[in-house]
Structure 1
Amino acid sequence: MESLSVLDASFLQAEDSDPHVSLAVGGVSIIAGPAPDYAELLEVFAARAQRIPRCTQMLRTHSLDIAPPEWVPDDSFDIAHHVHRMALPQPGSDAELFAAIATVMERRLDRERPLWECWVIEGLSEDRWAILLKIHHCIADGIATARMLAELSDPEDAAAGTYAGDIRAARKDGGPRWWGVRLSLNPFTWAPDVLRATLAAAGAVEHAVVGAAELTASVLTHPSDSSLNGSLSAMRRFSAARVDLADLALVHKVFAVTLNDVALAAITGAYRTMLLDRGETPGSEGLRTLVPVSMRSADDFDVTDNRVSAMLPLLPIDEPDPVMRLAIVHERLTKAKDSGQREGGSAMFAAAQSVPFALSAWTIRLLTRLPQRSVTALATNVPGPRGRQRVLGREVLEILPVPPIALHLRTGIAMLSYADRFFFGIMADYDAAPDVDGLAASVEEEVRRLAELARAAGSVE
């Protein structure tokens, strides 16, 4: 039996800390219609779910958290408990689809069964249907969730590559390694190699300690009050923004920044617009953002668990100029990466593995119950499939990522690349963010503005 890591279990404990929170992540595949026969779909999904161990396993917990929860087989597994069917009211537009997604995602998963659901959504306009896959965050991070969604696709598409191979954590070269230093295959050179590795190890430890200190200081910082942060209700709203990947790539090329920088700059500008529309003044300390970072190696793409750390950059919500805002985002993200925040977050969870589980579990429960106002937003980027996918021979037109919200963050944005498009899925508290559609529209407008400015700058050069 496999036990949950401290990181995996922390999502259960954070959910336990707030009755208004459901810590499930999701992905919505919008598919060209008509929808297949439901009985046929159920049979196919039953077979494909068997390929994913977590789909047929449930949690076994221990009293007082004396040991971490364990994955055990669900001896009474029934696919009908997990695959559900619903129809949208007419006209079946984005508004009806987004409302259905929010309703499904706001409800907690049943811990007496495997922690996932699949909703077949019919009645979309333009002869389309959709599949919403909902998975508890204790099972999978963004990359693992995308892989699970791909497993429900047709086999030849599930095996296709994703943009995940491009992430820095996935890059590696051959040969044995020691603390990040590649050892020569010639044993006579191992002594100097090990010396370099020892020095590298000392530097890595210092790097992680500095990063952990920066994360801690960021969490303890108290920014100016903002409507982006506060208590949550039990209801949710969902919206999405869609942009061309080519526009992001153009901005990336002209202004010499990363694609992630461009996406985060668009999000920063959209939050700025939201606050201005609410009559608030965007402050320099107002958008401390939780940015999960993948720690998954190329060998672990098919492993279903959480392999993430985090950075907490302060995004320049007070900067009115979009190009300057992009430059500041790039500078601050680069600084966060170089400071060791990613390694520091990973080191803190690694250290938690060495203490009794009960101590770490109750500490996390205590900390997640405390109100926090230092972090105001979530922005997570998930590399999606490069090529077009199909489900029972029908083309997947779009894939919308669905993040959870918790810890007094009233909005969360997940980003996902699929083929030639880039999608922003936005989850928000129902009462605190009735303007979530405006936030999505502003993200699209910010990308459009940056692309126009990039074209203008490129033509001048």
Structure 2
Amino acid sequence: MEHLTTLDASFLQAEDSDPHVSLAVGAVSIIEGPAPDYGDLAAAFAERAQGIPRCTQVLHTRPFDLAAPEWVDDPHFDIAHHLHHVALPYPGDKAELHAMIANIMERRLDRDRPLWECWIIEGLDGDRWATLMKIHHCIADGIATAQMLARLSDEGAGETFASDIRAAHDSGPSFLSLLRPRLNPLDWMNDVVRATFAATSAAEHAVVGAVELTARVLTAGEESSLNGSVTRMRRFSAAMVDLAVMKKVARNFDVTINDVALAAITSSYRAMLLDRGESPHALRTLVPVSMRSVDHFDVTDNRVSAMLPMLPVDEPDPVKQLQIVHRRLDRAKGSGQREGGSAVFAAAGNIPFALSAWTIRLITRLPQKSVTALATNVPGPRGPQRVLGRKVVEILPIPPIALHLRTGIAMLSYAGRFSFGITADYDSAPDVDALARGIEDAVARLAAIGRSQDRSARVEDDAK
């Protein structure tokens, strides 16, 4: 039996602390039509799900949290409990699709069954259809979820953009890895000394990062309509831009694609707050960071840490916003926040599970006012996918919201597209579509500024 880690189980405990939240993550694949026969789809998905252990396993919990929950095979597994077939009302455009997504995601998964669902959605305009995969966050983080979803496609889990991220090739300093056999005893002793210093330095870095994360969590932010209690109902919207445009902007301004995405989110949040009649102020934002190395892409669990940068929503100039985002993310990466967050959960795994579970439930019940937004970047498949021979043209990520965050944004790169999926509380964020449009506008604005700078540079070169 496999036990949940402390981090995996924390998503169950956070869900327990608020009856209005569901901590399931999801992704919608929009597929060229016409849709295949439902029976053929059900048979294909049933066969492919059998090859993914978590799809046929159920949680077994212990009374009073005396031990961590564990995954056990479901003796009564029935694919019919997990596959659902619906159709959009006419005209089947984005508004109807987004409303359907919100309605599906706001309901909690049944913990008496394997914690996933697949919804087949027909009736999209343009002779298209979609699948919505919904998986509890206790099963997997973004990269592991993307791998699971890819295994349900015709191609299976192939190459993804996840291989580009830092953690995929950076496992950090390892004491044992440096103690390789050496013929010269002096060389071996030198390795021991270097490994000892590397381990000490890494530990100090993690401690500094953990202290910084803790201080930021305990520091209340500015009052904002983006924080507060949420209802059970959700809204969903999405923005879509060309990945080539994102890459071009990143090259023009010597930043990363993630910097460009967060700057676009910054700009759109600024416009949203101004439209609400609020004074824009810097937003402390939860940015999950992968700790998953490339040799663990096929492991289904959560391997993430976090950074808490301040998005410069108070800055009106889009280029300055991008530059500030870049500097603050660089600083957060170098401060040890990533390592510190990981170390905290690693340490929590060494204390009795009941104590950590009760502590997390208590903490997540308290109203938090330090973090205002969530922005998570999930690397998707590099190449186009197909489902029963039909091409997947778009993939929309769906983040959950919890802990008094009224909006959450997930980003996903797939083939040549970069999508933003936005989940929001129904009552407090009726302007979620404007938030999505603002992101698209912000990327277009940065691209236009970059083109203008290119033209100016060429004119100067010609003049010389």
Quote how far apart the aligned CAs of 1:190 are. 2.3
Question: Residues of 2 paired with 1:172 and 1:158: CA distance?
Answer: 26
* Alpha carbons 1:224, 1:283 under 8 Å: kept: yes
Quote how far apart the aligned CAs of 1:186 are. 3.0
Quote how far apart the aligned CAs of 1:458 are. 2.2
Quote how far apart the aligned CAs of 1:158 are. 1.9
Which one-letter code corresponds to 2:59 in the other structure? L
Q: What is aligned with 1:365?
A: 361
Q: What is aligned with 1:267?
A: 265
Q: What is aligned with 1:431?
A: 427
Secondary structure of the 1:143 match is: helix
Q: What is aligned with 1:54?
A: 54
Deviations 1:178-212 (A, max 9, x none): 34975555353221112111001111111001100
Question: Residues of 2 paired with 1:263 and 1:425: CA distance?
Answer: 12
Question: Residues of 1 paired with 2:38 and 2:76: CA distance?
Answer: 22
Which one-letter code corresponds to 1:22 in the other structure? S
* Alpha carbons 2:209, 2:341 under 8 Å: kept: yes
Question: Residues of 2 paired with 1:266 and 1:192: CA distance?
Answer: 48
Question: Residues of 1 paired with 2:151 and 2:392: CA distance?
Answer: 13
Q: What is aligned with 2:275?
A: 277
Quote how far apart the aligned CAs of 1:159 are. 3.8
Deviations 1:368-416 (A, max 9, x none): 0000011000000000011000000000000000000000000000000
Number of equivalenced pairs: 455
Q: What is aligned with 2:293?
A: 297
Question: Residues of 2 paired with 1:22 and 1:210: CA distance?
Answer: 33
* Alpha carbons 1:181, 1:196 under 8 Å: kept: no
* Alpha carbons 1:293, 1:342 under 8 Å: kept: yes
Q: What is aligned with 1:312?
A: 308
Which one-letter code corresponds to 1:363 in the other structure? T
Question: Residues of 2 paired with 1:416 and 1:367: CA distance?
Answer: 30
Gaps of 5+ in 1: none
Q: What is aligned with 1:324?
A: 320
Which one-letter code corresponds to 2:288 in the other structure? P
Listed as ranges, the matches of 1:361-400 within 5 Å are 361-400=357-396
Secondary structure of the 1:371 match is: coil
Listed as ranges, the matches of 1:110-259 within 5 Å are 110-154=110-154, 157-171=155-169, 178-179=174-175, 182=178, 186-188=182-184, 189-259=187-257
Q: What is aligned with 1:69?
A: 69
Question: Residues of 1 paired with 2:430 and 2:107: CA distance?
Answer: 19
* Alpha carbons 1:288, 1:312 under 8 Å: kept: yes
The alignment's TM-score, normalised by the length of structure 2, stands at 0.96
The alignment's TM-score, normalised by the length of structure 1, stands at 0.97
* Alpha carbons 1:181, 1:200 under 8 Å: kept: no
Question: Residues of 2 paired with 1:262 and 1:177: CA distance?
Answer: 30
Question: Residues of 2 paired with 1:67 and 1:424: CA distance?
Answer: 38
Q: What is aligned with 2:460?
A: none
Listed as ranges, the matches of 1:395-410 within 5 Å are 395-410=391-406
Q: What root-mean-square deviation, in Å, do the aligned CA atoms of Structure 1 and Structure 2 show? A: 1.3
Question: Residues of 1 paired with 2:181 and 2:392: CA distance?
Answer: 46
Q: What is aligned with 1:336?
A: 332
Which one-letter code corresponds to 1:46 in the other structure? A
Question: Residues of 2 paired with 1:232 and 1:112: CA distance?
Answer: 26
Q: What is aligned with 2:414?
A: 418
* Alpha carbons 2:174, 2:195 under 8 Å: kept: yes
Q: What is aligned with 2:91?
A: 91
Question: Residues of 2 paired with 1:159 and 1:241: CA distance?
Answer: 25
Quote how far apart the aligned CAs of 1:172 are. 5.1
